[in-house]
Amino acid sequence: MSDRRTIIAQRVALDLESGAYVNLGIGIPTLVANYIADDRDIIFHTENGILGFVGLTPDDDQVDADLIDAGKQPVRLRSGGSFFDHGLSFAMIRGGHIDVAVLGAFQVSAAGALASWADDPDAMMNAVGGAMDLAVGAKQVFVAMTHTSAGRRKLVDQCSLPLTAPSGVSRVYTELGVFEPVGTGFRALSLTPGVSEATVIEETGARVFFDRMEAPVR
Amino acid sequence: MSVDKRRADLKDAVGQVSDGSTVLIGGFGDAGFPFGLLEGLEATQATELTLVANNAGQSSAAVLRMIQDHRIRKVICTYPRRDEPVLARAVAEQTIELEVVPQGTLAERIRAAGAGIPAFFLATAAGTALGDGKETRDFDGRQHILETALNADLALIKAHRADPWGNLTYHGAARNYNPVMATAAAVAVAEVDEVVELGSLDPETVVTPGIFIDRLIELDSSELRPPLRSPRAAA
C-alpha cells in the first residue's frame, strides 16, 4: 500500500475544475499538483504570497530561494502569476476567494469537523500554520488523507484530537474512495475500483451510506 | 529626524532596544527573513524580549543563541519547527512562553495594529482550543471570536530595494509578513539587498511607502542564511 498517497492525490486531481483557485496543504495535498490533466488550468495559491506557480523538480536549474511554497519547497512562477503580502493572502482565504483548499488531516468527523494540527494534544510544539484559516475560509474544503493510520480509523463520529474547525469539510478523499460528511455519518460518493463496501464499513469509525454512489472512476 | 533613513552599521540601524520589548520579525521560512538585523538585535544585549515571527525565528543562529541565553521571554508564532531542538527544549523546560496563533490571525493582528484597529472579529479558530476563552459573537449565523491588535516596539524586516526615504520593493515570496510588520511597530528597521538613488524606484512598484520605515541598512546577509533544500523528487 505504499502508493496510497498516489491514489488519493490522483483522485483529488480529477475533481479540481479548470479555472479554480486552489490551495494545497503540506503532505498528500502537495502531490495533487503532479496529476492535473493538461486540459485543466488550475491556479495554485500558497499562503506565503504566490498565486500561479508550479513546483520545481530536481532537473530545474533556476532555483530562486525566495520562491517557495508553504512547505518551504522551491517553486517557479507561471506566466500570469503574482506576489502579495500575508495580509492580502489571508484576505483571499478568509474572504472566500479560494475555491478549494485541499488539506491533510488526522481525523474528520461525521459533522465535517476537521482535526489536522495537533496529533498529540499534550505536545507543546504543535504548529497550526494556515489550516484554521483555510478550513473556515475556502469555498470548499477537501481533505486528502489515508483512510486509517497504524490501524486507527480517521473517519469518525467525533474527533478525539484538537479541532482545526468544528465543521466545514466538504469531502474526504482516501485510498478507499470519496466520502461526504452528512452529520449522521459519511456518504460514500465513489469507491476506488476493487474496494468493497464491507472494507469501507470495517475501516470507518462512523456510519457509511452507499445510497448515492457515482459510477466508479476509471 | 531626517528623511534619509540610511544607516551605515548594524548598531545604528537596530538602535536602542529596551528590555521587555516586543519585536516583529519578517519572513516565512528563510525567505524575507532579516538575518543581518537579528545579529544586530543580539548585539544590543536587550533581554526579556517577546519575538513575533511565523516560524519562531528558528532559522537564525542569533535567535537560537538568544533563546539559549534566556533573553527571550516569549515567542508568538504560527509554525514552530519541531525539528529544531533549541526552542523545543526551552518550551519544555518552561523557560520560554510559546503562543501559537493561526497564520492569518497573526497577520491580521499585525495589520490591525498598523491600521489603528484595536480589535476585530473573525471565524478562524472559533470552536477550537485556540479560540477558548475569547469573546464570541454570531454574525450571519456563524460564530466569530474577538482578536486584538498586536502592537510592537520594534519591527525588523527584509526587503529587496530601498531608496534613501525608505520606500521599499520586495522580491518574490520574500514579501510575506514584511509589509504588514513595517506598519505595526513604534520603530521599523529594514534590511535591504540594495539602496538605490532617490527617484530611481518606480513609484508604481513601491509596496511599502517610506512613511512606515524609520531606519534602513544595505546588507549582504546571505552567509547567515541556510542553503535552500533541494527540490522534492518528482512523483
Look up the ipTM and state it: 0.95
Query: Which residue from B minimizes the CA distance to A61?
Result: B231
Q: Is residue B134 part of a domain?
A: no
The three-state secondary structure class of A169 is coil
Residue (of A36, A188, A35, A20) closest to A101 by Cα position: A20
pLDDT in tens, B184-204: 999 999 999 999 999 999 999
Is the CB of A68 less than 8 angstroms away from the CB of B228? yes
CA neighbor of A36 nearest in space, from A59, A57, A54, A60: A54
pLDDT of residue B230: 62
**Does residue A112 fall inside a structural domain?**
yes
The answer to the question of residue B140 being in a domain is no
Q: What is the CATH number of the domain that holds A122?
A: 3.40.1080.10
Query: What is the domain count for chain B?
Result: 1
Residue B235 pLDDT level (bands cut at 50, 70, 90): very low
For residue A99, give the 3-state DSSP assignment. coil
What global pTM score does this model have?
0.95
Reply yes or no on whether the pLDDT at B1 is more than 60: no
What range defines the domain where residue A129 resides? 4-209
Smallest CA–CA distance, residue A127 to chain B, in Å, is 4
Q: Alpha carbon of A4 to those of A176, A197, A202, A205: distances in Å?
A: 9, 18, 18, 19
Looking up residue B159, the CATH number of its domain turns out to be 3.40.1080.10
A30-70 per-position pLDDT tens digit: 999 999 988 899 999 999 999 999 987 767 777 899 999 99
For the stretch B128-186, pLDDT in tens is: 999 999 999 999 999 999 999 999 999 999 999 999 999 999 999 999 999 999 999 99
pLDDT at residue B72, rounded to an integer: 97
pLDDT at B233 over 50: no
The per-residue pLDDT for A123 is: 82
**B182 within domain boundaries:** yes
Q: Do B124 and A136 touch (CB under 8 A)?
A: yes
**Residues 6 or more apart whose Cβ sits within 8 Å of residue A3:** none
Q: What is the pLDDT of residue A89?
A: 98
Instruction: Check: CB of residue A54 under 8 Å from CB of residue A75.
Output: yes
Cβ atoms A10, A173 nearer than 8 A = no
- In angstroms, the CA A204 to CA B198 distance is 65
The Cα angle at residue A33 between residues A32 and A39, in degrees rounded to 5: 110
C-alpha closest to that of B100 among A126, A48, A135, A119:
A126
Kindly determine whether residue A133 and residue B207, on different chains, have CB atoms separated by under 8 Å.
Answer: no
**Does residue A215 sit within a domain?**
no
SS3 category, B89: helix
**Amino acid B229: pLDDT:** 65
In chain B, which ranges are E strands?
22-25, 49-52, 72-77, 97-100, 119-122, 136-139, 142-148, 152-162, 168-169, 185-195, 215-218
Whether residue B231 is predicted with pLDDT greater than 70 in this model: the reply is no
pLDDT tens readout for residues B91-114: 999 999 999 999 999 999 999 999
Mean pLDDT computed over B21-49: 97
Q: Which domain holds residue B66?
A: 10-118+151-219
Specify the pLDDT at position A61.
74
Asked if residue A187 lies in contact with residue A209, where contact means CB atoms within 8 angstroms, the answer is yes
Which of B158, B202, B147 lies closest to B182, judged by CA?
A: B158
pLDDT exceeds 80 at position B36: yes
Regions of chain A short of the pLDDT cut 70: 1-2, 58, 215-218
Which residues of A are designated catalytic? Answer: 47
Chain B, nearest residue to A6 by Cα? B235
C-alpha cell at A179: 466520502
pLDDT band at B57 (very low <50, low <70, confident <90, very high): confident
Number of neighbours of residue A15 by Cβ within 10 angstroms: 17
Give the bridge partners for B174, in sequence order: none
Give pLDDT tens digits for B40-53.
Answer: 999 999 999 999 99
Q: Which residues contact A170 (CB under 8 A, 6 or more apart)?
A: A112, A140, A141, A142, A180
Chain A CB contacts of B179 under 8 Å are 85, 87
B175 vs A85: CB contact, 8 Å cut-off?
Answer: yes
- Which residue of B145, B176, B180 to mutate against A (max A Cβ within 10 Å)? B176
Q: Is B104 on the interface with A (CB under 8 A)?
A: yes
Q: Please say whether the beta carbons of A24 and A102 come within 8 A.
A: yes
In a domain, B48, yes or no: yes
Task: Name all contacts of B129-137 with Cβ < 8 Å and 24+ positions apart.
Answer: B129/A118, B129/A162, B129/A163, B130/A128, B130/A132, B130/B100, B130/B101, B130/B102
In a domain, A56, yes or no: yes
A216 belongs to a structural domain: no
Asked whether residue B170 is assigned to any structural domain, the reply reads yes
Over chain B, what is the mean pLDDT? Answer: 95
